[in-house]
């Protein structure tokens, strides 16, 4: 389970990798508006790396439940300058969090080296072409519906099998466009067309997704299901809950955890990795 491309290498046999979230949006559910300014965004990216981020994930459109899409031009305007500014300043891969092919292309041209597509290559028919052309890793995520309507009573007959089928189809789609099998990471999509109970079931049964033979990424950071468990705690008070969800996800098979609080999560992951493997990895 080693991912190697360009000047980067992610060895999942050695440790769980931390993906630090950098939202350059005015309306993301947890940190919307905080890093909308370019200078603040760059400063935060450098801090994430210093705190232990193995990947920086930059998004220019909120995909919180009920969110409205933004134009390609606006998403590029938000992300490309930030990517360009930090690409030469950090030694970790930069991921572009988008489902739009042109945004991905412009981000990759600016210095990004991964694509994180919440639609699993489904929303934009040109996305597989772009990923294949640039020969970069792609995170293929499961989603039911679109961000605007995904939380309006999502129903599954068989939750885990349906998500796995969706991911299998996306993996086959990637293959049709020449995306290397070794460049694919999967994500079951916590909170994307899932109820509270669905989210708990996915984390509890995360090991099922390892059967697809791909590195598994999860994004549980500060999400609503954690707030509900903690008595409707706001996002800023979900750090400990996130830490618990991260630790359990790692023990159940996660290779990448996407989080806001990198410094704290790096410590959580180090302990979870040691317990999982029965030793401290240097």
Q: Read off the pLDDT of residues 215-274 as tens digits, 9 standing for 90 and up.
A: 999 999 999 999 999 999 999 999 999 999 999 999 999 999 999 999 999 999 999 999
On whether the CB atoms of residues 21 and 95 are closer than 8 A, the answer is no
Phi-psi region of 145 (alpha: psi -120 to 50; beta: other; left: phi over 0): left
Domain 2-277 maps to which CATH number in 3.30.70.100, 3.40.50.720, 3.30.365.10, 3.20.20.20?
3.20.20.20
Give dist(CA 70, CA 166) in Å, integer: 25
Residue 215 neighbours by CB under 8 Å, 6+ apart: 1, 3, 10, 12, 185, 186, 255, 256
Name the residue with higher pLDDT: 197 or 67. 197
On whether the CB atoms of residues 243 and 271 are closer than 8 A, the answer is no
Name the residue with higher pLDDT: 281 or 107. 107
On whether the CB atoms of residues 206 and 186 are closer than 8 A, the answer is no
Residue 81 has pLDDT above 80, yes or no: yes
Residue 242 neighbours by CB under 8 Å, 6+ apart: 220, 221, 222, 223, 226, 259, 260, 261, 265
Q: Residue 251's pLDDT is what?
A: 98
**Given the structure tokens 């490309």, which residue do they identify?**
80
Residue 64 has pLDDT above 90, yes or no: no
Which run of H or E residues covers position 258?
A: strand 256-259
Residue 7 neighbours by CB under 8 Å, 6+ apart: none
Give dist(CA 117, CA 153) in Å, integer: 23
Q: Residue 148's pLDDT is what?
A: 86
Q: Residue 68's pLDDT is what?
A: 82
Q: Residue 36's pLDDT is what?
A: 57
Which sign, positive or negative, has the C-alpha torsion 76, 77, 78, 83? positive
CB-CB neighbours of 36 under 10 Å: 17
Q: Residue 3's pLDDT is what?
A: 95
Catalytic positions, please? 223, 258
Could you tell me the pTM of the whole model? 0.94
Summarize pLDDT for 17-50 with one digit per residue, the tens: 999 999 988 755 454 445 557 888 889 999 999 9
Give dist(CA 72, CA 212) in Å, integer: 32
Summarize pLDDT for 88-128 with one digit per residue, the tens: 899 999 999 999 999 999 999 999 999 999 999 999 999 99
Give dist(CA 113, CA 118) in Å, integer: 17
**Given the structure tokens 């098979």, which residue do they identify?**
253
Listed by start position, the domains of the chain span 2-277
Residue 59 has pLDDT above 90, yes or no: yes
- Radius of gyration of the chain from Cα atoms? 17
Give dist(CA 248, CA 253) in Å, integer: 9
Give dist(CA 26, CA 64) in Å, integer: 12
Residue 282 has pLDDT above 80, yes or no: no
Residue 149 neighbours by CB under 8 Å, 6+ apart: none
Give dist(CA 217, CA 185) in Å, integer: 7
Q: Residue 32's pLDDT is what?
A: 46
Picking from 5, 219, 213, 36, the residue whose alpha carbon sits closest to that of residue 113 is: 5
**Given the structure tokens 């008070």, which residue do they identify?**
237
Mean pLDDT of all residues in 3-10: 95
Summarize pLDDT for 161-207 with one digit per residue, the tens: 999 999 999 999 999 999 999 999 999 999 999 999 999 999 999 99
């Amino acid at each position: 389970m080693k991912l190697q491309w360009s000047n980067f290498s992610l060895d999942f046999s050695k440790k769980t990798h931390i993906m630090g979230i950098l939202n350059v949006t005015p309306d993301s559910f947890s940190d919307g508006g905080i890093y909308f300014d370019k200078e603040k965004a760059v400063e935060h990216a450098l801090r994430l790396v210093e705190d232990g981020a193995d990947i920086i994930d930059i998004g220019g459109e909120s995909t919180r439940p009920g969110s409205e899409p933004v134009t390609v031009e606006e998403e590029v305007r938000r992300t490309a300058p930030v990517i360009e500014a930090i690409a030469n300043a950090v030694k970790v891969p930069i991921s572009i969090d988008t489902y739009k092919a042109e945004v991905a292309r412009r981000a990759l041209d600016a210095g990004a080296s991964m694509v994180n597509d919440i639609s699993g290559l489904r929303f934009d028919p040109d996305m597989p072409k772009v990923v294949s052309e640039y020969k970069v890793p792609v995170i293929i995520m499961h989603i039911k519906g679109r961000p605007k309507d995904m939380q309006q009573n999502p129903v599954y007959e068989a939750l885990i099998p349906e998500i796995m089928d969706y991911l299998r189809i996306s993996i086959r789609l990637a293959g049709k466009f020449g995306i290397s099998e070794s460049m694919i990471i999967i994500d079951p999509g916590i909170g994307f067309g899932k109820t509270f109970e669905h989210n708990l079931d996915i984390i509890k049964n995360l090991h099922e997704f390892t059967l697809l033979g791909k590195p598994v990424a999860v994004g549980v950071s500060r999400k609503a299901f954690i707030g509900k468990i903690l008595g409707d705690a706001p996002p800023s008070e979900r750090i400990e809950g996130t830490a618990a969800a991260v630790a359990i996800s790692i023990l159940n098979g996660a290779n990448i955890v996407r989080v806001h609080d990198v410094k704290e999560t790096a410590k959580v992951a180090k302990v979870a990795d040691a317990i999982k493997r029965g030793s401290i990895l240097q």
